[in-house]
Each structure stands twice: as structure tokens, then as C-alpha cells.
């Protein structure tokens, strides 16, 4: 497929998103076409990115002063210490606002690098080169940056839009299947909150997408980015509509925090479990029909996606899960705020539930 270009237009910022194969060999060209210039550049690179691809990136970059910072990207390192290390490099090397930071990695690398970019001298040019499917379809666009704390996931952060996003499909071919499944969870989420036709496309072609077959993988990434583009252009700072992107995530973030961000449960896997639980909770509250719930459930089962919470978390952790859900940043009252489904493609915002109702529901999920 030819390179796909999207233009993101928020109230005070515009930037392009490129999707295609072999894009990292065209970095100079893409930078020039996007009118991005700099004297110095800091590359924050996920240590899992293959050296062969790193070398291609370095060869393709403009002949500027380039500094490399390798980052061991995991949820435990998504913290203030990692941000401080980046800031220290920028300060010691005398970077200026018109210089540039390029993130090369998954969502964690992008979140940490983006947050550092947003607070260094109140903002340095930030370019995101997402290397995982999850980052390419979700976290690389929209401007959310952040780090974890002992109080929960992404509890410290900022809204800071990148200057350019480059999603090269070739990165995906280096990933284990588990990482592809994690990204697919966000693709599925986008279909459920915005477009039943897209969900039916996924239902028909998920195997091809999970196996990175062209043009199905490109179409899925493109459609996911289009959905997110439309949402953030209306509501960049998550005042209302953008909250629908959190479908399944209130559950998911609590699961991750309960397990202390261990490798037992990746973010994308937590999102898939969260989608399952949010869909079932929608059914139990007479919002989503049984037929549509079964469509979602059968899709997850057919493509061997995780649906059993009890296989990941012990029932002894029930109170921990609810405690983290109570701390979710979307809550504005003592109740727990959830995004649920009325139909596939029709989410419902700002529904608040008593803690005991969530507790009772999750108790059933952890036992059965």
C-alpha cells in the first residue's frame, strides 16, 4: 500500500501522521515535508528496538548533532526518575526550545518522552515514532503524556501534541504475537465506541490483521487513527466526548495497578479484559442487548483473546481493584465513573456507580 497521511487539527496545533512501510528510511524527507527543523536532536529509544532498525533511523536522519538515550521501557520505569534522566541530558547538552526530541518505541516510551518534552523549557519539539501496534493505533496521537505513581496509572502528566508521528509497519514485524494482541485490543475498542461497520470488518478479518497481512493491517491502523482524530479534534482536553476513548480502561488501569504493573498482564491485555467487563456490565445494567454482547464476547473467544479475569488476578485482590477504580482520574464524585455501551458504536458517557455495585460485579468475575 502507498503511504497514508492524516492531518490532526486541534484548536492550537496541527501535525501530520504518516502510516506505511519503510518510512524510517525517509525521515529526512518527512521532516522537510512537515517543515520541522532543528540543530540538535535527542533520540529516546526503547531498548527492545532492533539495532538494524536503529541504524536505518540514524542513517536517515539529517546530519545534525544527535544524542541517543536508551530507555528500558516498562510500566515500572514509567516514572519521574525516567523523566528526570531525559531532562538532565537536555539540560547538560544545552538543548533549546527549537531543538527536538524523538521518541522511538512503544506507548511507554512515547508517554515518558512526551511528558519530558512538555515540561522542558515549557515545551520542545516532539516527534513520535511508535514501534508497537498499540502505540500506532492509540497513544501516539492525541497528545496525552504521563507517568505512573503509587496512586495509579498515568496519574501525573500533561496534554502535549507532537509535531509529527511516523508509524512504520515494519516495526510490527519484529514484535512477538503477544504485543500484536495488545495493540489489537485498542483497535477493537475504537470499533466498539464509534463504528459497527468497522467492528464487522474486524470480525471478518481479525486473523489477517493479527498476522499483519497487507492491506488489512494498514486499513485497521488507518481506521483507528481516523476515529481517534475525529474525537480529539472535537475534544482535545477530555472535557466530554474524548472520555469515550476510556471505554474498558477504568477496569484495565485498576487491574494493572493491582498487579503492580507486572509482566503477568500487559496494558493491551488489561484493556481487552476491561472491554469484556465493561460490555458485560453494560448488559447487566440493561444498556447493551444480549445479542450485541454475545457478538463482542464471541469475537474475543473466536480469536483467543483474554476474557477471564480470574485467570489473571486472585479474588483476594478484589478490594485493591475497587480502591484503584475509586482513584481513577475521571471520577468527579465519590462514585466510580464508567463509559459503557448502549449499542456497538454507541457509547454512553458519565455514568456513575456506587462502589458496592462495582464490588459485587467484580466479585462475580473473579470467582466465575
The strand pair at 100-105 and 65-71 is best described as unpaired
Residue with cell 510490527: 172
What is the enclosing helix (H) or strand (E) of 30? helix 27-33
What global pTM score does this model have? 0.94
Residues 167 and 262 in one domain: no
Burial of 35 (0-12, 13-18, 19+ CB in 10 A): exposed
Residue 270 has a pLDDT of 96
Q: Which CATH number goes with the domain that contains 152?
A: 3.40.50.1970
- CATH number of 363's domain: 1.20.1090.10
Q: Are residues 210 and 142 in the same domain?
A: no
How many C-beta atoms lie closer than 10 Å to residue 154's C-beta? Answer: 18
Are residues 139 and 198 located together in one domain of the fold? no
Indicate whether 156 and 190 sit together in one domain. no
Domain boundary, last residue among 144, 174, 204: 174
Of 34, 92, 42, the closest CA to residue 64 belongs to 42
**Cα–Cα distance, 182 to 305 (Å, whole number):** 9
What are the per-10-residue average pLDDT scores of the chain (368 residues)? 92 93 94 91 97 94 91 95 98 95 97 98 97 96 93 91 97 96 97 97 97 96 97 94 96 94 92 97 98 97 93 95 91 92 96 96 92
Instruction: Give me the pLDDT at residue 330, please.
Output: 83
Q: What is the pLDDT of residue 63?
A: 79
Q: Which triple of cell numbers denotes residue 164?
A: 509529527
Please report the DSSP string for 151-175 in residue order: TEEEEEEEE---SEEEEEGGGGGGS
* Secondary structure class of 44 (helix, strand, coil): strand
- pLDDT value, residue 64: 81
Q: Give yes or no: residues 114 and 249 share one domain.
A: no
Looking at the fold, whether 185 and 334 belong to one and the same domain comes out as: yes
Question: What is the model's pLDDT at position 151?
Answer: 85
Q: Which residue has the cell 500500500?
A: 1
- Cα–Cα distance measured from residue 185 to residue 196, given in angstroms and rounded to the nearest whole number: 15
Domain count, the chain: 2
* Residue 24: predicted pLDDT: 95
Instruction: Identify the domain containing residue 143 by its residue range.
Output: 4-174
- d(C-alpha 280, C-alpha 126), whole Å: 39
**Would the CA dihedral through 221, 222, 223, 225 be positive or negative?**
positive
Amino acid at each position: 500500500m502507498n503511504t497514508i497521511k492524516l492531518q490532526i487539527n486541534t484548536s492550537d496545533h496541527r501535525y501530520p501522521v504518516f502510516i506505511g512501510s519503510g518510512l524510517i528510511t525517509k525521515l529526512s524527507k518527512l521532516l522537510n515535508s512537515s517543515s520541522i527543523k532543528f540543530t540538535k536532536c535527542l533520540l529516546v529509544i526503547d531498548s527492545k528496538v532492533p539495532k538494524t532498525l536503529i541504524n536505518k533511523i540514524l542513517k536517515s536522519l539529517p546530519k545534525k548533532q544527535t544524542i541517543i538515550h536508551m530507555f528500558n521501557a516498562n510500566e515500572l520505569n514509567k516514572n519521574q526518575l525516567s523523566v528526570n534522566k531525559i531532562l538532565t541530558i537536555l539540560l547538560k547538552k544545552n538543548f533549546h526550545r527549537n531543538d527536538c526530541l524523538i521518541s522511538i518505541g512503544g506507548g511507554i516510551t512515547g508517554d515518558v518522552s512526551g511528558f519530558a518534552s512538555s515540561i522542558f523549557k515549557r515545551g520542545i519539539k516532539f516527534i513520535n515514532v511508535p514501534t508497537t501496534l498499540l502505540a500506532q493505533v492509540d497513544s501516539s496521537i492525541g497528545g496525552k503524556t504521563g507517568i505512573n505513581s503509587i496512586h495509579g496509572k498515568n496519574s501525573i502528566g500533561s496534554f502535549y501534541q507532537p509535531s509529527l508521528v511516523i508509524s512504520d509497519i515494519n516495526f510490527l514485524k519484529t514484535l512477538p504475537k503477544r504485543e500484536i494482541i495488545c495493540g489489537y485490543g485498542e483497535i477493537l475498542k475504537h470499533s466498539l465506541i464509534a463504528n459497527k461497520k468497522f467492528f464487522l470488518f474486524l470480525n471478518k478479518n481479525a486473523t489477517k490483521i493479527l498476522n499483519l497481512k497487507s492491506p488489512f493491517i494498514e486499513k485497521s491502523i488507518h481506521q483507528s487513527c481516523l476515529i481517534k482524530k475525529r474525537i480529539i479534534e472535537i475534544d482535545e482536553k477530555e472535557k466530554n466526548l474524548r472520555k469515550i476513548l476510556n471505554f474498558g480502561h477504568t477496569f484495565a488501569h485498576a487491574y494493572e495497578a493491582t498487579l503492580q504493573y507486572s509482566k503477568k498482564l500487559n496494558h493491551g491485555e488489561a484493556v481487552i479484559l476491561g472491554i469484556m467487563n465493561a460490555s458485560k456490565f453494560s448488559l447487566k445494567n440493561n444498556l447493551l442487548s444480549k445479542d450485541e454482547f454475545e457478538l463482542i464476547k464471541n469475537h474475543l473467544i473466536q480469536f483467543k483473546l483474554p476474557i477471564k479475569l480470574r485467570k489473571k488476578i486472585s479474588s483476594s485482590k478484589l478490594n485493591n481493584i475497587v480502591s484503584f477504580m475509586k482513584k481513577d482520574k475521571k471520577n468527579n464524585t465519590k462514585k466510580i465513573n464508567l463509559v459503557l455501551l448502549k449499542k456497538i458504536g454507541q457509547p454512553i458517557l458519565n455514568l456513575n456507580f456506587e462502589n458496592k455495585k462495582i464490588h459485587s460485579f467484580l466479585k462475580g468475575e473473579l470467582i466465575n
